[in-house]
Amino acid sequence: MPFSEGNDATRRPMCPGSGGIRSFPSMRKAWAVIAILWIVTLFSQLDRQLPALLVKPLKGEFGITDTQFSLLQGYAFALVYTAMGLPFGRLVDRANRRNLILFGVVVWSAMTVFAGFATSFGELLVARIGVGVGEAVLAPAAYSIIADYVAPARRGRALSVYYVSLAIGSGASLLLGGMILHMLPAAGLQVGGLVLTPWRTTFIFAGLPGLPLVLLLLLVREPERHETQGIARASIGDFLAYLREHRATFWRLLTYPALIAAIGYGMLAWAPAYFERRFGLPIAQVGVTLGIIVAAAGLTGTLTGGALSDRWLAQGKPAARFRVTLVGWMLIVPSASFWPLMPSATPCFALLAVLVTGTAIAQSAAPAAVQDVFPNTMRGQATAVYLLLAGLVGIGLGPMLVALVTDHVFGDPAKLGYSLVAVAVPMTLFGLWLSISGQRPYEQTLEALRRGRP
């Protein structure tokens, strides 16, 4: 039976000004839906980090530089991912969110498989662009659906459990890619008269789960929208006016995740190449090791952030959701500054684990923090803006800045570690300031929303 709100929904009071008491679905049904969205998001991440393991074969096959590769890993995906997020965010606020996710699954799966058959660098860019189109709808729709399945008091943990799929998915991407590259013969697979090299086979395997995911999503039903603050639909003008009124909150709240994304994506895009270039480690071994680190540390950090978020909210601590970010920065600042400078691979991997834990704590706080300070009918647009900044600065600029510093400042691929530090340090310090200075404005915005002033 598809998961819908049903008769066993729990009744919980809405925020003041929301138009009375409405039913949230039971937590049993909520967790079932979260589990499905978790699986879908996990598989959406499988292709995300694959190019990081394929720097050498892709550069060899297409004759590209580090900077050109950073375009493939970053902006080819990020520009479309973020640009499409804005119209998709609008649709999320007014259309069937489950069906939007179905569309996204079909597109990104097909384009991931297409990447495995690319015969030129241009075709590979087109494939990455197509993946960006498909994945752009997932996060705004998923966050919005979960917020309407889970009452506010439990939302931090629910969203953090869902967010775990991002961390484990990134780790699984590296782990799966490393295992495939290890198991495949160097000459690749021969299918009929077609020879598929290992890098092509890796992309194809990552895109194949699309059909099962579509069937799984058919079990999810569109939930009733809650916490609308009396606004049936919010126009772009309404949304922009709300941002302007609370600009002290939102430019901090929506910007700090972009800096964390830049650190995280810059690190993951180049960490495999760093360990290969500096320590001579086989790329398959690096992929498996990094995959385990990203999955385990990401899981630990994300669940820690969600638990702290709900606990501090229950204790009535000021800006509880946003306050969690400060814990993350305490781990991020030192580890991002020193991990590439360690004398051997083992302490590098250890500090990377600390860095991933910190980024997971701070980054996983963002979805719940954003959902809590926007009326329901603005949440899709808010998530789209959040992802726009994270995509442009994080997914796109993070990997590219590292490559630009390597190519044009140090001028030596062997200096990649110094490039990673040079890019990360100013970002961590700025992000820490954003989170510290944003605590009071965030609490003021939250209080205004509680009083029913959208």
333-345 pLDDT per residue, tens: 999 999 999 999 9
What is the mean predicted confidence (pLDDT) over 36-51?
Answer: 83
Question: In sequence order, what are the beta bridge partners of 12?
Answer: 22
CA dist 144 and 441 (Å) reads: 23
**Which residue type is seen at 70?**
S
pTM: 0.68
User: Can you give the pLDDT at residue 5?
Assistant: 41
The answer to whether the beta carbons of residues 228 and 18 sit under 8 Å apart is: yes
User: Can you give the pLDDT at residue 178?
Assistant: 76
User: Can you give the pLDDT at residue 334?
Assistant: 95
The answer to whether the beta carbons of residues 66 and 389 sit under 8 Å apart is: no
Alpha helices in 226-282, H assignment, sequence order: 236-245, 247-253, 256-279
Mean confidence (pLDDT) of the chain: 82
Residues 6+ apart with CB under 8 A from 319: 438, 439, 440, 442, 443, 446
Comparing 30-39, 170-179, 333-342, which segment has the lowest mean pLDDT? 170-179
Count the neighbouring beta carbons within 10 Å of the beta carbon of residue 104: 26
What is the mean predicted confidence (pLDDT) over 170-188?
Answer: 74
User: Can you give the pLDDT at residue 11?
Assistant: 39
The answer to whether the beta carbons of residues 136 and 104 sit under 8 Å apart is: yes
